[in-house]
A and B are shown apart, each in its own frame.
Chain A
Amino acid sequence: MESNEQIQDFCRRYFQAVDAPILIDQPDFLQVELPRDIDKELTDRPFYWMYVEATGQNPANSVLSLSFAPGVEMEGVERIEFVTLGSFRLNKIIESVQKRGRFTRAYQTGAGTAGRALSPYLLATFKLSFVADRRRDEMVSYAVDLRSGQVFREAYGEIERLTLTDAPARTVTTSSPSLSLSEGYHIIRQAVEGDISALDHTWAEEANEHLAREREQLETYYESLCLVNADENKTDGEKEKKAAMYAAERELRIAELEWRCAPRIAIAPFHFGLLYLADGVLTGTAATGNRLST
């Protein structure tokens, strides 16, 4: 979603997918009617809906007018919103999409599937985040054949190209899994862990070196403070109080430093699908150690 057209295309597909009637569809412009459930997800006015529902009213659906280029005007249309990455409305639409599209069960259809048995696969996508004081992310995907336990890496790209429906065609049969979903997921997790450990972790080594340097600087600094304190012309009570203060401050600084700079990899499952696919559709890629470059 980089260009205005791609953003408009995404919004159009979303409104179609949630059955919101599109009233006007022109270059750089969409006007759409919002069914109540969609309105609730996109407009952020819970009190209005509480009021409407408490008083049993039935207001007409509201209409949203969205432009995808700056300065778009339409005759007779007021309140046109300019939708860009990061804009409130697009964020709301993305929130709604992610609420509705995290989990699916789907069946392959179309060419080559008629009369064949479809096999069950578990598909999982993940967002991997390589985090220190900076951060880089990568989306990865894995599928596991729930009969054999075979893992297919980067499966999402292949699956995206297939035609899928949410109910099986009458001409196909489905074979039963020999692994449960949980067993399948366990296999995927192991594959993820394995692939991660084979990665190039230079970034983390650098982060650790940086962390060590800053830590040493902190330690030296607080040591010098303590020495000065011990040397000063004060009562022991005062010195102790100060030493305790420095110790607490040092702890805080070191905790902050770890919080900011310690390298770690966050693995966030993004979505799951139970898919019935024809055999041989997934080709799978072997684990490639340095697939994720740093």
Chain B
Amino acid sequence: MIHLKVSHEKFSLFWVILSEQITDSEVTLLEKVDAMPAREWEEGLFEQFLEREQAGDFGSPELFRLAYQSELTRVSPNFDQLICLDQLPEITPYPHQLDTAKKVLNELHGRAILADEVGLGKTIEAGLILKEYLIRGLVKKVLILVPSSLVIQWVRELNQKFKITAWAQKSTYSWTDCDIVVSSIDTAKREQHREIVLAQDWDLVIVDEAHKLKNRKSKNWELINTLRKKYLLLLTATPVQNDMKELYNLITLLKPGQLGSQTDYSSTFMENKRLPKNRGELKEALSEVMIRNKRSEGGVQFTRRNVQSIMLDLNEDERNLYDEVTRFIKEQYEVLREQGRGNVLQLIGLQRQICSSPYAALVSLKAMMESEKTPSDIRDRVTQLYDLAGSIEAYTKVNKCIELIQQIDDKVIIFTEYRATQDFILYMLQQNGIKAVMFRGGFKKSKKDWMTELFKNRFQVLVATEAGGEGINLQFCHHVINFDLPWNPMRVEQRIGRVHRLGQTKDVHVYNLSTRGTIEEHIVSLLDEKITMFELVIGELDLILGNLRVGRQFDHDMMDLLVKGASRDELKSKFDELGEKLKEASIKV
């Protein structure tokens, strides 16, 4: 390595006069001098040359030529093109990703919120920008802050896809010794790390899931605000979750004052907490710091989605159980409403479980049986239901499910809401000689990866309780069975989104199982009609799902309507109302 010192040689008038470049008038010359950018001469190489000359230690003319030729690969021939693409033969970015990267580099001057909707590849965009800056020599020292469950994945993607040597933070030395460090924000702000992190000059800071910086009074926000950084990328699909001020706080990290002072912002751009005003102006101001690609805007071609609702008839035993349990719930629910207290959630749960499988209901029934709070007359009733549920011999849904899997003869994901149902399905699949793995909440990332590998390479079926699964890509699968249906249509969408997303090359088939004469029948028919509405706001899914209040209220309202024996139209208007709430919550600027 050759070490060079950089000296800042200021342009001097003295020198201009000496040079051959003196023009007619000294006045124009002086003006020119003012416009002249500073020059920085890298010093030291010529002195090395003199030493080598003394020693007679030279490279051959051929090596001299090769050196020049090799340096040409390290020349950025223009300001505004993405030269990194030549070095990334294994990546074929989508047009919107290329546009975004270019726009951040050329128009947003390297400080931006990447706010694409979920599934459009924000990390690819960030990777392209990082790679471009590295190749152009504008960035060397990089801090990447991501949720701890995604640290390893980021490191792996940067190394493998982008050929960027990035390191997962391991110790207090990582911050100083590694040029490119990936860490969780919680680690970085811990006492033993914080001072070291703050002492570095970061050429680029990337924050994934940046909505964690929405609160200006939080330690997270303060850390990013205090960091010394040149370029800054904030990645979030939900720049606003509950309050328009969150957006202001994010932008203050990037470009303080872009939206005026806080009072200006509130009066100019906020109708209320959730609704923007002067949208045109706001949009313009935001376009200088934020890029948001939406699925609905096209450009990204998704494969087709075929949804099939399969209506089943319960057998006599199952029918009997369903009716008994539903009657029990109705009675209890009304009692509770009159008294204004008691465990409504438990009843809502039971009503949903009984739609899923008798096994799922058994868990709740057992809990009620064993709870000391349950009055004795009710306990008898519950015990009776429990015995009834335990006595079922044939299972309509699971039989249909097995039949479907055998017909499909390809990878299938089965989603259910309940662990008990999941166990039951796994057991039944095993009995029928079908190889299956499972996912459930609380699995560590490594375990999920391992299960994904197994599913991809060796097993036909994945049975999952959890629709989220941050960072798990299952595009190699094209069939989804919804064994039971969440009442909230957005959760259905989120499930399907695991498979039907960017990178899926084939059409996706979705099978919704439901049983005639049950609540599920209502839900399924509403879904068939309304699913497109939810697809439109799909990008905001995580936003809404993160907002539990909306979700819970929806469950309560539905329960009310169902128990009251509301008409289909009433249920439908509830769905419409939810749709409206979503639209309001997602700011459409």
Residues of chain A touching chain B, judged by Cβ–Cβ distance below 8 Å, are: 1-2, 10, 13-14, 16-18, 70, 84-88, 93-94, 97-106, 124-125, 127, 129-131, 133-139, 156, 160, 164-166, 181-182, 185, 189-190, 193-194, 196-198, 201, 203-205, 207-208, 210, 214, 217-218, 220-222, 224-225, 228, 249, 252-253, 255-256, 259-274, 287
Contact = CB atoms under 8 A, between A and B. Distances in A.
A124 B46 CA distance: 9
B77 A101 contact: no
Given A217-B255, A218-B256, A266-B40, A106 B109 contact: no
B67 A198 contact: no
A236 to B, nearest CB: 23
Of A133, A181, A267, the most chain B CB neighbours within 10 A belong to: A133
Given A221-B257, A260-B109, A86 B71 contact: no
Contact of A84 (B64, B87, B262): B87
B484 to A, nearest CB: 46
B21 interface: yes
17 contacts: A86-B135, A88-B163, A94-B73, A98-B71, A101-B67, A103-B57, A105-B58, A127-B75, A133-B138, A134-B106, A139-B71, A190-B18, A193-B19, A221-B256, A260-B231, A267-B41, A269-B42
B58 A264 contact: no
A166 B71 contact: no
Interface in B97-128: 105-106, 109-111
Contacts of A263: 37-38
Contacts of A224: 257, 260-261, 263-264
Contacts of A93: 70
Contact of A264 (B21, B38, B60): B38
Contacts of B69: 1, 10
Interface in B174-230: 225, 228-230
A135 B79 contact: yes
A2 B260 CA distance: 47
Interface string B75-105: 1111110000011110000000000000001
A221 B258 CA distance: 8
Contacts of A88: 163
Nearest to B80: A134
B45 interface: yes
Given A86-B86, A101-B67, A131-B138, 12 more contacts: A1-B70, A97-B63, A102-B59, A103-B59, A193-B39, A197-B36, A217-B255, A217-B258, A218-B257, A222-B257, A224-B260, A271-B45
A258 to B, nearest CB: 10
A10 B68 CA distance: 11
Contact of B70 (A10, A135, A156): A10
Contacts of B261: 221, 224-225, 228
A94 B61 contact: no
Contacts of A272: 45-46, 49
Of B69, B74, B106, the most chain A CB neighbours within 10 A belong to: B69
Of A1, A70, A85, A127, the most chain B CB neighbours within 10 A belong to: A85
Contacts of B548: none
Contacts of A207: 37
A201 B36 contact: yes
B417 to A, nearest CB: 45
B564 interface: no
B20 A194 contact: yes
Nearest to A166: B60
A265 B87 contact: no
B403 interface: no
A130 B68 CA distance: 19
B109 A210 contact: yes
B173 interface: no
Given A101-B66, A102-B59, A136-B78, A194 B19 contact: yes
B372 interface: no
Contacts of B404: none
B73 A256 contact: no
